[in-house]
Amino acid sequence: MNRCDILDVKKTILEDNDADANLLRENLRNKRTFYMNVMSSPGAGKTTTILATIKALSSKYKVGVLQADIDSDVDALTILNAGFPCIQLHTGGMCHLDADMSRQAIKRLYEVSSEEHYDVIILENVGNLVCPAEFDTGASMDVVILSVPEGDDKPLKYPLVFEKSEAVIINKIDALPVFDFDMVKVHEGVRMRNQTSKVFPVSALNGDGMDAWYEFLMTKVEAWQNG
């Protein structure tokens, strides 16, 4: 044997997960359930944005939440204490969720809540901009949140998560006067990675800009359910 055969394990894992994600996505479409994967760095405001979003959607849709984190139930308790169904996923050190983890979590959400149907399920993925972007969760739509204190260069430094996200939420715009953040540059960076993604400058804390995000999301939900 004159050469060493090489197996690209990461490629195999990702291909297997992609196939599984497509099956999950089709199953959710058949059930008319919109599954949204929300990614961001720690501290960007994922939980605050998700909580505001489910409050806005709850009068029209049945919404459930999956909270993924390496440890703790802090974020899940925030959602539960607000009166919404939520499952906490402890990844045990893993920095992402994949399609099978999503499937297990969705199944558990139904078991715990005894609901027959969810119109919308929102996943708060593990807090980083690298690993979660590599694994297809089976989501109907991927979203990334970038906060003003992080800086306007994130689309340049973390290309994949911006390439695959249909929506980019720029959170904490109420902090713009305090930080050196160029809104023009961040828009240019997003466009460099994805020409079609929608950008929403918002303050999830005080509600500025959130109505446009809600309207966009509800349009996507309706299209998914009727498609």
**In a domain? residue 130:** yes
Bridge partners, 143 (sequence order): 38, 167
- Structural domain total, the chain: 1
Q: Give the separation between CA 14 and CA 9, rounded to whole angstroms.
A: 9
What would the pLDDT profile of 182-191 be if each residue is shown by its tens digit?
A: 999 999 999 9
**In a domain? residue 37:** yes
How remote is the C-alpha of 150 from its chain's centroid?
A: 18
The string over 65-88, giving b where at least 16 C-beta atoms fall within 10 Å of a residue's C-beta and e elsewhere, is bbbbbeeeeebbebbbeeebbbbb
**In a domain? residue 5:** no
Whole-angstrom CA distances from 165 to 3, 133, 154, 197 are 41, 9, 14, 7
**In a domain? residue 227:** no
**In a domain? residue 8:** no
At 88, give phi and psi (nearest 5°): -95, 130
Kindly report which listed range (60-74, 111-125, 131-145, 160-174) carries the lowest average pLDDT score.
60-74
Res. 12: pLDDT tops 60: no
Residue 22 belongs to what domain range?
Answer: 15-221
**In a domain? residue 79:** yes
What would the pLDDT profile of 146-197 be if each residue is shown by its tens digit?
A: 999 999 999 999 999 999 999 999 999 999 999 999 999 999 999 999 999 9
pTM comes to: 0.92
Q: Give the separation between CA 7 and CA 155, rounded to whole angstroms.
A: 31
**In a domain? residue 43:** yes
**In a domain? residue 9:** no
What would the pLDDT profile of 31-88 be if each residue is shown by its tens digit?
A: 999 999 999 999 999 999 999 999 999 999 999 999 998 777 888 999 999 999 999 9
Long-range pairs for 72-81: beta carbons < 8 A, 24 or more residues apart: 75/46, 75/47, 75/124, 78/47, 78/51, 79/47, 79/50, 79/51, 79/54
Rg of the chain over Cα atoms, rounded to whole angstroms, equals 18
* CATH number of the domain encompassing residue 128: 3.40.50.300
Whole-angstrom CA distances from 20 to 47, 89, 182, 203, 210 are 27, 19, 40, 35, 33
Alpha helices in 91-209 (DSSP H): 99-113, 131-134, 154-157, 159-164, 183-193
